[in-house]
Amino acid sequence: MSETFGIVVEDSAIARVEALRSKQGLSGDHYLRIAVVGGGCSGFQYEMSMDDVVNNDDLVFDEAVVIDQTSRQILRDSVISFREDMMGSQFVIENPNATSSCGCGQSFAV
C-alpha cells in the first residue's frame, strides 16, 4: 500500500499494474495513469491508461500508478484498489469528494 497526498493505492492495484505490464510485455517504466476528465452525465469521469511518461508534478505510487496535479485535487483522500468478483474485474476508486454519480456509475460530480 502506498499513500501520498491522502490518496491510498492498495496493494491489489499495484499488483494488477505489474500483471498488466507482464501480460502486455511492457517494461517497469510504464505506469497506470489515472486522470479525472470532464465528461459523462454528472460532469467528471475517470480515465485510465498505461503511460510511459511521468511529468515533474505527477504523483507516483510504488512505481506503478501516476496521477497528475489537477486530478489529485479531486482524488484527495481516495482509495484506489483492484477488485475481482463473479461479475468481472476492475480498478475501483472510492472517492469521498464525489457528491453524486450517474445511474450507470461511469461519471460523478464534486
For each successive 10 residues of the chain (110 residues), what is the average pLDDT?
Answer: 85 97 92 94 92 96 95 96 95 94 79
Give 75's Cβ-side CA count (13 Å radius).
27
φ/ψ region of 25 (left if φ > 0, alpha if ψ in -120 to 50, else beta) reads left
Q: Is the pTM of this model over 0.75?
A: yes
Quote the CA–CA distance of 49 and 30 in Å, as a whole number: 10
Q: CA 71 to CA 22: how far, in whole Å?
A: 27
pLDDT of residue 74: 96
Q: Which domains does the chain have, with CATH numbers?
A: 2-103 (2.60.300.12)
pLDDT at 105: 67
